[in-house]
Amino acid sequence: VWTRPGNRREYLRGRLEQGRAVAYRNQSSGVLRSAAWADGLIEVRGKARPWPKVTGSTSSR
């Protein structure tokens, strides 16, 4: 279960695909591939908990 620690902002690595923000499936700090795949960061707002329901892409360009 992914939980938000404290009041700090949380971000997911992601990119735009057909006008929609898509998060990389594995957001683990040990996954360097997601940093190369991503175009930027997606801010997680409010009490949103994207995992495990958000299914991102792992396809390469």
47 within domain boundaries: yes
57 within domain boundaries: no
Q: Report the number of distinct structural domains present in the chain.
A: 1
61 within domain boundaries: no
Residues 6+ apart with CB under 8 A from 24: 12, 13, 14, 31, 34, 37, 38, 56, 57, 58
26 within domain boundaries: yes
Query: In which domain, by residue range, is 4 found?
Result: 1-52
58 within domain boundaries: no
23/5 Cα distance (integer angstroms)? 20
8 within domain boundaries: yes
**Pairing verdict, β 20-23 and 40-44:** unpaired
- What pTM, to 2 d.p., does this model score? 0.61
Residue 52: strand pairing partners: none
Instruction: Give pLDDT tens digits along the chain (61 positions).
Output: 456 566 778 888 999 999 998 988 887 877 788 888 899 998 888 776 665 544 455 554 4
60 within domain boundaries: no
